[in-house]
Amino acid sequence: MFGKGSKIYSILFLKCPRCHEGAFLENHPYNLSSMNSVRDTCPKCGLKYKMEPSFYFGSMYVSYGVGVALAVAVYVLTLLLGLDLGIAGIFGVIIATLILLMPYIGAISKSIWANFFFKYDGEIAQKAKQNA
C-alpha cells in the first residue's frame, strides 16, 4: 500500500515521482545551506523535475495546508494526552512543532506538488532499477 508505486512512498521518502528510485532533492531537507533545493533531473530516469520556471511556487499552497493539518494534529494530540497547558501553552507547542518541522514540511510540499503533475511509470522504474 505504501511501497514503491504509490504516491505516498514518493512523497514521504522524497523520491522521483516517475520511477521512485532517484532522489528528489539536492540534499537532506535539514541541510540549511541548500534547504529544499529540487534537482534539475532525476539521477535514475532522467525526468526533468521543473516543467517551467517558478514551477514550485504552487507548493506554497500545499505547504500551508500541511502546516494547518499538522497544527490541528498537535492540538488534538495535546487534548488526547490530557495536557493542561492552557491556550498559550498549546499555541507555543504548535509553533515549536511547526518551526522544528519547517524544512521537512517544505520538502514534502514540493514532493506533493510534483506528484500532482508526474505519474509513476512501472516500466521506467524497472529500467532505472536495472541501470542502478
Single pTM value for the model? 0.85
Query: Rounded to a whole number, what is the distance in angstroms from the first to the last CA of the chain?
Result: 24
What's the length of the chain?
Answer: 132
pLDDT (0 to 100) of residue 129: 74
Q: What is the tens place of the pLDDT at every residue in 54-78?
A: 889 999 999 999 999 999 999 999 9
Listed range (38-47, 73-82, 109-118, 120-129) with the worst mean pLDDT: 120-129
* Contact (CB, 8 A) for 49 and 110: no
